[in-house]
Structure 1
Amino acid sequence: MRPTIPQLETWNLDAVHRAAEAARANADLLSTSVDDCSRALSAAESWHGRTKDAATRRIDEEVDHGYEVRAVLLRIADDAADVSQGLKHAKTYVLEQKNLAVSQGFTVSADGGVSHPEPEKSGAAGVFQLNLRSGLDEIERLDTLFGRRLREAVGDLVAIRDGQPSVTLADGSMHDPDAVVTRLATLSPDERAAFLAGLSPEVQRQLVIAAPETLGNLNGVPFAMRVEANEINIRNALTREKAKPVPDQARVGQLEAMLSPIPDPEATVSAAALGMVDRKFVMFSTEGNGRMIEMLGSMRSGVPGVGVYVPGTSTNLNSSGSNHVAAWNLADRTGGPIFLYMEGDFPQSLTSLSDGAPSPSFAAEMAPKLVEFGREVDREVSSHAPGTPVTYVGHSYGGSVVGSAEQLGLRADRILHASSAGTGVFEGGWNNPNPDVQRYSMTAPGDLIGVVQSYPDAGLSLPGLRLPGNPHASDVLGGDPDEVPGVIRLDTGYYGDSSSRAGEVVFGTDGHGKYWDDPGSTAFGNIVGVIAGTDVRAYVERGIETSWVDVGLGDNGNGGKEAFDAGRAATAQAVLDIENPYADPRVTDNPQLGARIEVR
């Protein structure tokens, strides 16, 4: 419904907010009740026999049914809360614009038209009218979207009141949803995708309600279904965490953030438009340090490119906020969907040989999963944005994950190693099925990862000591993506104008990742250019010095010189107590940006 301004003035949206709270409270009460019932039966350890078995089966059925009802109640609560917040914001905006216009002598009509008796104020009247009608457009959009979603949810709730109804498959046969999901789990991803494509949206939704924990992470399931399932899974994880005797407050905060709306990276800049959207997760698990794949933006015809961003060491679910922001900025700047890929545990230490960044085990474990996920991305691209190029960006340890996945057959149109730990942990070269793949790399001068990249593949033999080689170095490609033939090296350049380091060269230890926090930096712009297929800046070798470090021409890519530069910095810190020996860098050679390169 598109209200008139007088109608909007009478709207009381508190009732919508109260409805959301009531639905959420009832969902929690239902969950607690069925859990208590299940625990009570489990506690009856001395009870045995047919009656106990029958009671157990019946209670298990009701627990399952209770969780299905709870999932729908939470969906209603979430949608009601979103529409309440959105409509309240839009209502406030429209009425403030109307009051401001009236206070300045403009006449505002019921439909948002604005006029003024003085002709010279027609331009200002047009601005007010545009703002008011944009706000009313947003209200109509929200009302239509959430009205449909709430009607669907209420319909689902009615349908499962007495138990989950059977669903109708493509051949007309009727089956229990849980049995259908059990069957789906036995199929290959391709078979699964073909099977689900033959089902109606209503049946797909019933399957999600029946088994969200299975469908949320199952390859072959359309991303829209996985997103819906994982919203339920995240809410369930939040409830379980809060119910613990000592909840992990960092995890609680992270899960709550994952369920909170965010600005839409695809929204046009307009004060009238809320541009708030739910976050979308095509994979979620609390296993290990917490795992997820977040999709920012949407897969649709006309997007310039699709990006998959694999972050590096110390990444985990609880502290993934900065990775989310970087992925959001990529989606905002490229205009296409970006996937933040965290389908596995990352090393949490920079130095531990057994379970830190030097260990290849994390990359070896994640690489096959990335290959499989790449097939799912290609499937979605084929369905929703045919022909759109897909780019994989690996930062730091994530570069080793991406390189290892390419060794195992990851298909990509473009690859970017950003401050990458290496080319891959397996033997042999890259094995991309796309013969026209474009590969790019960039590493900031003075970044300590350069020492790792240049470390001898075969290790070092010293008197009485044998040091192993770089575990992220392919025996064919070596450990430095910047030096691999065919890889185009890009310029990390300078920080952007809006940064606190505006105009400063990207350099040193901070040069390893700080550019990810600065969308205006040369390096971030290069990532955007590769994904969007526009243009990038070619590598320029610079001489850079500080009061304690002097990186000269020829140092980059020379392991001995890079290690010497790093040693001088470490000595300044340890012996002279210099907090940051890389601070206040001065470019002594080649300050110009690299030449522009068109991305094919």
Structure 2
Amino acid sequence: MRPTLPQLDGWNLDGLQRAATAARANADILSTSVDDCSRAASAAGDWHGATKDAATRRIDEEVDHGYEVRTVLLRIADDAADAWQGLQHARTYVLDQRGVALARGFLVEPDGRVSHPDPAKEGDAGVFQLNLFGGLDEIERIDGQFGTRLRESLADLGALRDGQPDIALADGTLADPDAVALRLAALSADERATFLAGLSPEARRQLVIAAPEQLGNLNGVPFALRIEANEINIRNALTAEKRKPERDEARIRQLEAMLSPIPNPEGAGVLGTTPAATGAGATPRLDLVDRQFVMFSTEGNGRMIEMVGAMRSGAPGVGVYVPGTSTNLNGSGSNHVAAWNLADQTGGPVFLYMEGDFPQSLTSLSDGAPSPRFAAEMAPRLVDFGREIDREVSAQTPGTPVSYVGHSYGGSIVGSAEQLGLRADRVLHASSAGTGVFEGGWNNPNPEVRRYSMTAPGDLIGVVQSYPDEGLRLPGIGGLPGNPHAADVGGDPDEVPGVTRLDTGFYGRDFDGHERGEVVFGPDGHGKYWDDPSSTAFQNIVGVIRGGEVTGYVERGIETDWIDIGLGDNGDGVKEGFDAGKAATAGQLFGVDPYANPRITDNPGPGPKLDVA
């Protein structure tokens, strides 16, 4: 429904918010009740016999039934809350625009048309009218979208009164959704995709209600279904975390952020540093969208794959961003912001890939960044997920190039995945730890793959890259192990034949102790450019994903008051190690930042412009 402005004046949306709260509370009560029932039956350890078996079966059926009802209640709660927030923001925006227009002497009609007695102000009147029409259009869109979804959910809730109804399969037979979910789990990804393509939208929705945990993380399931299922899974995880005797408050904040809408990355500008801009006191805006997760699990340190932006026809590129050491679910806010800014600037979807545990230590040999086991475990999953991206691209935006960007330890994950057969159109090693952890070279099935790399001067990862894969033998110390992230193509992606090295260049704004135009350098050069979407390095990531112009590498001489990195130091492990050791000594002895105030002594200009086709 498209309201008039007088109708908006009388709107009271509080009932919608109360409905969301009531639905969520009832879902929690139901969840607690069926859990208590299940635990009570399990605790009756001294009870045996046919009656116990029959009672257990019946309780299991009702527990499953209760979870299905809870799923629909949570969907109603989420949709009602999203509708309330979207309509509230849009209503406030429209009425504010009308208020400003009236205060400046413009005439505003009930349908949003704007005029002014002075013909010279016709242009300004048109701007106000465009803003009002845009807000009313958004209200109509939100009303139609969530009205349809809430009607579907209410119908599902009614159908679940006596248990979930059977669904129609492609051959016309009827089957229990829980049995179908078990059947799906036993199929290959390709078989799942074919099976689900034969089901009606109604049947697919019933499958999500029956088994969101399975549907959310199964390859072969369309991303739209996985996103719908994982919204439920995240909501259930939040409820479970809040009920724990010792709650993880950081996890609760993260899950709440994952369920909060964010500005649409399509043309909204730089996000800044806050993952979700919808909290109390946020400026009303018309472009809010739900976050989208095509994988979610609380296993380990928390895992997810977030799709930021939309998979749509005409997208210039699809990006997959694999972050590095210390990445975990609770601390993924900055990774999300980087992915959002990439999606905003590339005009296509960007996947933040966290389908596994990352090392949390920089130094531990067993479970830190030096260990290859995290890359070895995650690389096969990345290969499989790459096939799912290709499936979605083929269906929705055929021919769109897919690029993989591995940062730091993530570069080793991407390189290892290429060793196992990851298909990519473009690959970028950004401050990468290495080229792969398995034996053998890269095995990308795309013969036209284009590979790029970039590492900032003075970045300590350069020492790791240059470390010999066969190890070192030092007098008085003995043999040291080789670089576990050095594939047969070589350990330093900047030096591998066929890889085009790009420039990390300069910061594009003043932030966090760095000035606009300052060279990206030193330990901060390892990752600070991800926080500066206007930096040369970030723009190069954008260029690789969307195609177009990037900045090629130029070696520079750089000095500070404490160290001097000269031409020829880059790629020379001995010199890089010496520079790093000298800086560490200065920092320890004198309490200074040895990398502060860098000055370029050689080649101060930007690198050459290159085209990414």
Q: Which residue of 1 aligns with 2:274?
A: none
TM-aligned CA distance change 1:268 to 1:494, over 3 Å? closer
Query: TM-score, normalised to structure 2's length?
Result: 0.96
1:551 is aligned to 565
Match of 2:278 in 1: none
Tell me how far 1:283 sits from its aligned partner.
0.6
Shift of residue 124, structure 1, vs aligned partner? 1.4
- CA pair 48-371 structure 1, distance change in 2 beyond 3 A: same
C-alpha RMSD of matched pairs (Å): 1.2
**Cα offsets for 1:15-39 (capped at 9, x unmatched):** 1111111111111111111111111
Q: Which structure 2 residues correspond to residues 10-29 of structure 1 after superposition, within 5 A?
A: 10-29=10-29
Q: In the alignment, which of 411, 417, 422 is matched to residue 410 of structure 1?
A: 422
Which stretches in structure 2 are left out of the alignment for 5+ residues?
A: 271-282
CA–CA distance in structure 1, aligned partners of residues 113 and 153 of structure 2:
36
Superposition deviation, residue 463 in structure 1: 2.6
Partners in 1 of 2:267 and 2:509 — Cα distance? 23
User: Could you tell me which residue of structure 2 aligns to residue 507 of structure 1?
Assistant: 521
Partner Cα separation in structure 1 for residue 97 and residue 510 of structure 2: 30
Cα distance in 1 for partners of 2:49, 2:312 equals 57
Partner of 2:590: 576
Identity %: 76
> 1:499 deviation in Å?
3.7
Kindly provide the amino acid, as one letter, of the partner of residue 48 in structure 2: H
Matched, 1:131 2:131: yes
**Does the alignment pair 1:596 with 2:609?**
yes
Q: Distance in 2 between matches of 1:195 and 1:125?
A: 54
* Distance (whole Å) between structure 2 residues aligned to residue 272 and residue 69 of structure 1: 34
Match of 2:316 among 301, 304, 315: 304
Contact (CA 8 Å) 2:269, 2:344: kept in 1 or not? Answer: no
1:569 deviates by 0.5
Q: How does 1:475-514 map to 2 (within 5 A)?
A: 476-497=488-509, 499-500=511-512, 501=514, 502-514=516-528
Moved over 6 A (4+): 269-272
- Corresponding residue for residue 78 of structure 1: 78
Contact persistence 2:502–2:551 (CA under 8 A): yes
Structure 1, 103-112 or 407-416: larger mean CA deviation = 103-112
Q: Which aligned pairs between 1:438-587 and structure 2 lie closer than 5 A?
A: 438-464=450-476, 465-474=478-487, 476-497=488-509, 499-500=511-512, 501=514, 502-578=516-592, 580-587=593-600
Q: Does 1:333 align with 2:349?
A: no
Matched, 1:343 2:355: yes
Once the two structures are TM-superposed, the CA of residue 498 in structure 1 deviates from its matched residue by: 5.3
Shifted more, 162-171 versus 269-278: the winner is 269-278
* Matched ranges for 1:228-307 at <5 A: 228-267=228-267, 274-307=286-319
8 Å CA contact 1:399–1:422 kept in 2: the answer is yes
Would you say the 8 A contact 2:72–2:209 is kept in 1?
A: yes
Q: Which residue of structure 1 lines up, in the alignment, with residue 440 of structure 2?
A: 428
Mapped to 1, the partners of 2:566 and 2:267 lie a distance apart of 45
Residue by residue over 1:538-596, the C-alpha shift from the partner in whole angstroms, topping out at 9 and shown as x without a partner, is 00111111111111111111111101110110100112222x21111111111111111
CA distance in 2, matches of 1:362, 1:219: 21
Aligned length: 598
Secondary structure of the residue aligned to 2:448 is coil
Match of 2:275 in 1: none
User: Does 1:396 pair with 2:408?
Assistant: yes
Contact 2:89–2:284 (Cα < 8 Å) also in 1: no
For 2:590, what is the secondary structure of its paired residue? coil
Paired with 2:81 and 2:13, the residues of 1 have a C-alpha distance of 10
Amino acid at match of 2:16: V
Please name the residue that 1:58 is paired with.
58
Give the distance between the partners of 2:118 and 2:253, measured in 1 at CA.
54
Counterpart CA distance in 2 for 1:531 and 1:509 is 25
Aligned to 1:363: 375
TM-score, reference length from structure 1: 0.98
- Which amino acid in the other structure matches residue 9 of structure 2? E
1:510, 1:268 → 2: CA distance? 28
1:187 counterpart = 2:199: no
Work out whether residues 415 and 438 of structure 1, in 8 Å CA contact, stay in contact via their aligned partners in 2.
yes
CA contact (8 A) 2:263 2:287 kept: yes
The superposition leaves residues 199-244 of structure 1 with CA deviations (integer Å, 9 ceiling, x where unpaired) of 1111001001101111111110111111111111111111111111
Distance (whole Å) between structure 2 residues aligned to residue 556 and residue 255 of structure 1: 42
Q: CA deviation at 1:273?
A: 5.1
Structure 1 portions without partners, runs of 5+: none
Tell me, in whole angstroms, the C-alpha distance in 1 between the residues paired with 2:63 and 2:19: 25
8 A contact 2:92–2:284 mirrored in 1: no
Matched, 1:379 2:391: yes
- Contact kept, 8 Å, 2:302 with 2:330, in 1: the verdict is yes
Q: 1:24-83, CA deviations, whole angstroms, 9 ceiling, x for partnerless residues?
A: 111111111111111111221111111111111111111111111111111111111111
Name the SS for the 2:375 alignment partner: helix
Moved more, 479-488 or 47-56: 47-56
In the alignment, the residues of structure 2 paired with residue 278 and residue 272 of structure 1 have an alpha-carbon distance, to the nearest angstrom, of 16
- Cα distance in structure 1, aligned partners of 2:161 and 2:563: 70
Q: Summarize deviations over 1:381-440 as a string: whole Å, max 9, x none.
A: 001110000000000000000000000000000000000000100111100000000000
Contact 2:419 2:436 in 1 (8 A): yes
> For residues 13 and 65 of structure 1, what CA distance do their matches in structure 2 show?
32
- Is the 1:267–1:275 contact (alpha carbons within 8 Å) kept by the matching residues of 2? no
TM-fit CA distance, 1:252: 1.1
From 323, 328, 339, the equivalent of 2:335 is 323
